[in-house]
C-alpha cells in the first residue's frame, strides 16, 4: 500500500473515491434510518461514524479531492433516498469535513512523511473532532433549534464518535485493503 496522500488525483482515484462514496451511501441509508428510529432525527451516531470513517479513508488515500468526491457521492445518495430528516444539510457540512481531513492528510505528508498510517488517520480524526465543536453547534442549535444544553450534552458524544468508532473503522478498512492486496 502506498503511503503518499496526493493533492492531484487521476481517473482511477476519482472512480475509487466514487466507489467509496456509493459504499458509504448504501451503509448511510440503512444506518441513518436506524438513527432516525432511535433519536427521531435529532442525532445520527451510526450515520456519523459511517460517514467520517469513509472520509478519513478517502482523505488518507486521495487527499481533499478524493474525500470530497466520496462524501458528496454519499450525500447525494442520502438525498435521493431521504435517509435522514437532515439529508439536505449533509452535502455542505460533510464537504467542510472532507476538505479539512484532506488538507490535514497533505500537511502530515509534508511535515512527517515517515509517519505511520495509524498516526495519520488518528491525526486527521483529531482535526475533525476539533471541527465538531462549531459543526455540532450549528446543526443542533442553529438548524434544529434545540436548546444549548443539548449541544453541551451532544458535543462529547460526537467528539467521541469521531475519535473512536470512525477512526477505528477507517483504520480497519485500510488494513483490510492492504491484506487484500488492493493496489490503491
Structural domains present in the chain: 11-175 (1.10.1760.20)
**Range list of H helices, 10-147:** 11-39, 45-81, 90-111, 117-137
Give the Cα separation of 61 and 57 in Å (integer): 6
Torsion angles phi and psi, residue 121, rounded to 5: -65, -40
In this prediction, residues 79-92 reach a mean pLDDT of: 87
Cα 16 vs. chain centroid, distance in angstroms? Answer: 16
Percent of the chain clearing pLDDT 90 (strictly above): 70
Question: Does residue 1 surpass a pLDDT of 50?
Answer: no
pLDDT bucket at 117, cuts 50 / 70 / 90:
very high
pLDDT bucket at 42, cuts 50 / 70 / 90:
low
In this prediction, residues 150-176 reach a mean pLDDT of: 93
In this prediction, residues 118-122 reach a mean pLDDT of: 95
**Range of weakest confidence among 13-17, 44-48, 88-92, 121-125:** 44-48
If one counts every other C-beta atom within 10 angstroms of the C-beta of residue 91, the result is 15
In this prediction, residues 21-29 reach a mean pLDDT of: 94
Tell me if 121 sits within 8 A of 171, measured CB to CB.
Answer: yes
* Residues 6 or more apart in contact with residue 112 via CB below 8 angstroms: 119
In this prediction, residues 25-41 reach a mean pLDDT of: 87
Q: What is the pLDDT of residues 93-110, one digit of tens each?
A: 999 999 999 999 999 989
Question: Does residue 3 surpass a pLDDT of 70?
Answer: no
Question: Does residue 128 surpass a pLDDT of 70?
Answer: yes
Give the Cα separation of 24 and 27 in Å (integer): 5
pTM equals 0.90
Question: Does residue 11 surpass a pLDDT of 50?
Answer: yes
Question: Does residue 23 surpass a pLDDT of 60?
Answer: yes
**Range of weakest confidence among 32-46, 83-97, 98-112, 155-169:** 32-46
pLDDT bucket at 118, cuts 50 / 70 / 90:
very high
Amino acid at each position: 500500500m502506498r503511503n503518499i496522500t496526493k493533492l492531484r488525483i487521476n481517473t482511477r482515484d476519482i472512480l475509487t473515491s466514487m466507489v467509496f462514496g456509493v459504499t458509504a451511501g448504501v451503509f448511510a441509508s440503512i444506518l441513518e434510518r436506524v438513527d432516525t428510529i432511535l433519536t427521531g432525527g435529532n442525532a445520527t451516531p451510526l450515520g456519523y461514524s459511517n460517514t467520517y470513517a469513509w472520509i478519513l479513508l478517502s482523505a488518507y488515500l486521495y487527499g481533499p479531492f478524493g474525500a470530497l468526491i466520496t462524501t458528496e457521492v454519499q450525500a447525494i445518495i442520502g438525498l435521493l433516498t431521504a435517509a435522514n430528516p437532515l439529508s439536505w444539510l449533509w452535502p455542505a457540512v460533510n464537504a467542510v469535513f472532507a476538505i479539512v481531513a484532506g488538507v490535514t492528510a497533505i500537511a502530515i505528508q509534508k511535515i512527517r512523511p515517515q509517519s505511520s498510517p495509524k498516526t495519520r488517520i488518528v491525526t486527521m480524526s483529531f482535526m475533525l473532532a476539533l471541527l465538531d465543536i462549531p459543526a455540532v453547534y450549528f446543526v443542533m442549535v442553529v438548524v434544529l433549534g434545540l436548546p444549548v444544553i443539548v449541544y453541551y450534552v451532544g458535543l462529547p458524544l460526537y467528539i467521541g464518535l469521531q475519535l473512536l468508532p470512525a477512526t477505528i473503522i477507517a483504520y480497519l478498512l485500510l488494513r483490510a485493503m492492504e491484506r487484500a492486496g488492493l493496489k490503491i
